[in-house]
């Protein structure tokens, strides 16, 4: 490109397109000015090309990061729904335990199975690789303000917020449910069982927990805690779905 402009400049100087013949000094000055102009033009062109390349690289990186985050969200959504399903099972188990104690005088496999379920504490562990890549490159790489805010909102607010509720549930189970169950039930590891646990209770202890309110209070409290976390899980599910939709829409706009 510079060579092209230089050829034109030399031709104009040689043909002397000005009204008066140029002196040698004038020709030299004209030549020097032309060289400066050519250098400036070359620099501007190089800068523009560099800017184009930089913008293209940023756009490609943005697409790469958004695709990875969206892929992470697919995994997260599956995990959240699995946890919600387990929490549904825990809610049913707590109801079945309460009804069983009202209607039966001896324990059964059904009773043992439902009690074993109450030990479960589903834990959501989000895949953070896409978001970590984004923060390492700078969140401004995502050009859409609304999308950038939605991503940060999920990873910086909703995920930690939900993790705190899970932590409280685990603490409740460890401090309240576990000690009571250990006191009244005999626990054994059973690899063929869904919860990897089998348990029994002496008939005398079974009769005692039927008469006393402590066991029922614990089961009801566990059900309440579980339902509370499940409500937050469903809210989180909605947030993940919404962010997925926003990312896919943004990716479609870049094709």
Please give the residue that has the higher pLDDT: either 129 or 17. 129
The alpha carbon of residue 10 and the mean position of all alpha carbons in its chain are separated, in whole angstroms, by 62
Residue 42 has pLDDT above 60, yes or no: yes
**Highest mean pLDDT of the ranges 20-34, 103-117, 178-192:** 103-117
How confident is the model over 173-203, as pLDDT tens digits?
A: 889 888 888 888 887 776 665 565 678 898 9
Q: What is the reported pLDDT for 113?
A: 87
How confident is the model over 238-251, as pLDDT tens digits?
A: 999 999 999 999 99
User: What's the Rg (C-alpha) of the chain?
Assistant: 35
Cβ neighbors of 161 (< 8 A, separation 6 or more) are 232
Q: What is the reported pLDDT for 32?
A: 66
What does residue 158 show for φ and ψ, rounded to 5 degrees?
-70, -40
The stretch 56-81 carries a mean pLDDT of 93
Predicted model pTM: 0.77
Q: What is the reported pLDDT for 18?
A: 45
Q: What is the reported pLDDT for 97?
A: 95
| Average of per-residue pLDDT values in the chain | 84
């Amino acid at each position: 490109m510079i060579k092209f402009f230089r050829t034109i400049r030399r031709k104009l100087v040689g043909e002397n397109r000005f009204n008066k013949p140029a002196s040698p000094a004038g020709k030299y000055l004209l030549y020097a000015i032309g060289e400066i102009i050519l250098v400036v033009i070359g620099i501007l062109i190089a800068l523009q090309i560099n800017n184009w390349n930089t913008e293209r690289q940023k756009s490609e990186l943005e697409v790469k990061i958004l695709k990875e985050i969206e892929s992470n969200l697919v995994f997260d959504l599956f995990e959240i729904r699995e946890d919600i399903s387990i929490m549904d099972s825990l809610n049913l188990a707590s109801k079945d335990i309460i009804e069983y104690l009202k209607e039966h005088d001896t324990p059964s496999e059904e009773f043992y199975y439902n009690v074993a379920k109450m030990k479960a504490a589903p834990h959501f562990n989000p895949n953070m690789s896409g978001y970590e890549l984004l923060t390492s490159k700078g969140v401004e790489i995502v050009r859409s303000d609304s999308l950038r805010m939605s991503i940060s909102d999920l990873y910086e607010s909703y995920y930690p917020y939900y993790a705190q509720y899970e932590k409280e549930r685990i603490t409740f189970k460890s401090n309240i449910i576990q000690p009571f169950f250990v006191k009244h039930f005999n626990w054994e590891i059973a690899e063929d069982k869904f919860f990897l646990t089998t348990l029994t209770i002496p008939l005398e202890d079974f009769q005692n927990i039927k008469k006393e309110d402590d066991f029922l209070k614990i089961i009801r409290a566990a059900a309440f805690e579980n339902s509370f976390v499940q409500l937050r899980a469903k809210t989180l599910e909605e947030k993940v779905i919404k962010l997925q939709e926003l990312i896919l829409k943004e990716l479609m706009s870049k094709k």
